[in-house]
Amino acid sequence: MNVLILCTGNSCRSQMAHGFLQSFDKNIIVRSAGTQAAGKLNAGAVKAMAEVGIDISHHTSDSVDMYLGEEWDYVITVCGGANEACPMFTGKVAQRLHIGFDDPSHAEGTLPFIESEFRRVRDEIKNRFYEFYIKEIKKQELPKCSCGGSC
């Protein structure tokens, strides 16, 4: 199973989604990229993920151009900008989905408020990607019944 997660900057939401999806199942090949990659990770996203035991500090912020010719079971956009700017993939893409989230890097206010926004979005990403994992990926792994159907 190959999953590509796209965002505009590939520094925050796509990185968190990448970290969670990979934590659900080490057998899934997960990559994340940006339509306008920032080239670095957002420190707030790295901190928020570390709080739940997932280290994304080793991830890189990559351009979607790196992955255009590859085959993907899923290409998932996590922000409106990436959804609108998602390039045409020349490789095989079985399904393209949009699972959008607010951008916590745009939060303004006190440090505690900004940190709470990163946590809120992190938790939304975890819940929505776990739902995706169960409904889309795990269901494909279920064995067929002995009658040859999927009863």
- What domains can you pick out in the chain, each with its CATH number? 2-139 (3.40.50.2300)
Query: If we measure between CA atoms, which residue out of 17, 151, 147 comes closest to residue 79?
Result: 17
* CA atoms of 14 and 16, how far apart (whole Å): 5
Q: Name the CA dihedral angle for 74, 22, 100, 130, rounded to a multiple of 10 degrees.
A: 100
Residue 20: what pLDDT?
98
145 given a catalytic annotation: no
Which is the catalytic residue, given 86, 145, 147, 151? 86
Tokens coding 74: 């899923």
Query: pTM of the prediction?
Result: 0.87
Q: Would you state the pLDDT for residue 68?
A: 86
24's tokens: 């659900």
Residue ranges of alpha helices (H) inside the chain are 13-24, 43-50, 80-85, 111-132, 139-141
pLDDT at 42: 96
Contacts of 109 (CB under 8 A, 6+ apart): none
Question: Quick one: pLDDT at residue 35?
Answer: 86
Q: How many CB atoms sit inside 10 A of residue 103's CB?
A: 20
pLDDT for res 141: 65
Print pLDDT tens along the chain (151 aa): 999 999 988 999 999 999 999 999 999 999 999 988 889 999 999 999 999 999 999 999 999 989 988 899 999 999 876 656 666 665 688 888 999 999 999 999 999 999 999 999 999 999 999 999 999 888 776 555 555 555 5
Q: Is 151 a catalytic residue?
A: no
